[in-house]
Amino acid sequence: MSEHILKERDDRVLILTFNRPDKKNAITHEMYTALCDGLDEAAADDHIRVVLIRANGDAFTSGNDLKDFAAGLQDAEKAPVFRFLKTISRFEKPIVVGVQGLAVGIGVTMLLHSDLIYATPEATFSTPFTNLALVPEAGSSYLLPQAIGPAKAAEMLMMGEVLSAEEAEKAGLVARLLPANDFAAAVLAKAHALAAKAPNAILQTKRLLRKNHTVMQDRMMEEGQLFAELLKTPEFMEVATAFFEKRQPDFSKF
């Protein structure tokens, strides 16, 4: 499927694994496309009942690949990242996610479109969009306050504060923390347990849990348009340049 997104079928579970550990699993256009193809395959295959998303290496993902983003999104609506967000936000089968290490940006916002999220006690969660001179994406300005409360969501989305695994579990972003030493096996066991349940009951339950879908989709579109515009600004260029020059961005000139 892709060097950086591994796809495996394990009975009724389709597993998608981020496999770009040397770049903290930063997600490129090509990886978004591979993720979408995997989700589309799972949706079309009656044998598959659950998708498991997980990662190799010490990080879940550092979010969007900043090199790809610095190059801009030509046609925002057709960009692989937006195809991925549309696909995952409308996906009807349950998605289980195993988060070890850091989850940044879309590594957090994709969780809001997933169902059962497990994390190691060392995991951290951050959505530093404003630090990047950008705005929230993936419907997170709508979904994150619902998931963890408006105060914590503002801290994450405006200040770029990091949520610890313990806080994420307490706030309700994560279903459960599982020990790091047996994490992959434990998460896979959860995915299989879910896949063994009555499939129609699970699909209907997921549908019922996804409330206000239309509002969320509208918000996601609004965020996406703004996000794509902001990627073209000198402020974002300064952020991207600073990142690869391994220095702090300097906003004093704006």
Residues that bind ligand COA in the complex, under the rule CB under 6 A? 23-24, 26, 62-67, 102, 104-105, 128, 132
CB of 227 to ligand COA, least distance (A): 9
| Separation between Cα atoms, residue 143 and residue 149, nearest integer Å | 10
Q: Which is nearer to ligand COA, 104 or 191 (CB)?
A: 104
3-state class (DSSP) for residue 27: strand
Structure tokens at 14: 């389709």
Q: Which is nearer to ligand COA, 116 or 138 (CB)?
A: 138
CB of 38 to ligand COA, least distance (A): 21
CB of 244 to ligand COA, least distance (A): 6
Q: Which is nearer to ligand COA, 35 or 42 (CB)?
A: 35
CB of 53 to ligand COA, least distance (A): 17
Q: How is the beta sheet containing 13-18 ordered, strand by strand?
A: 5-10, 13-18, 50-55, 95-99, 116-119, 176-177
- Cβ atoms of 143 and 171 within 8 Å: the answer is no
Q: Which is nearer to ligand COA, 41 or 229 (CB)?
A: 229
Residues linked to residue 10 through DSSP beta bridges, in sequence order: 13
Q: Which is nearer to ligand COA, 15 or 239 (CB)?
A: 239
CB of 160 to ligand COA, least distance (A): 9
Q: Which is nearer to ligand COA, 26 or 184 (CB)?
A: 26
Tell me which residue of 38, 33, 65 sits closest to 54, measured CA to CA: 38
| Separation between Cα atoms, residue 63 and residue 65, nearest integer Å | 6
Sign of the CA dihedral running 195, 38, 225, 109: positive
C-alpha 18: how far from its chain's center?
11
Task: Please identify the residue of the shown chain whose CB is closest to the bound ligand COA.
Answer: 105
Output b/e per residue, 9-34; b: 16+ Cβ within 10 A. Answer: eeebbbbbbbebeebbbbbbbebbbb
CB of 24 to ligand COA, least distance (A): 4
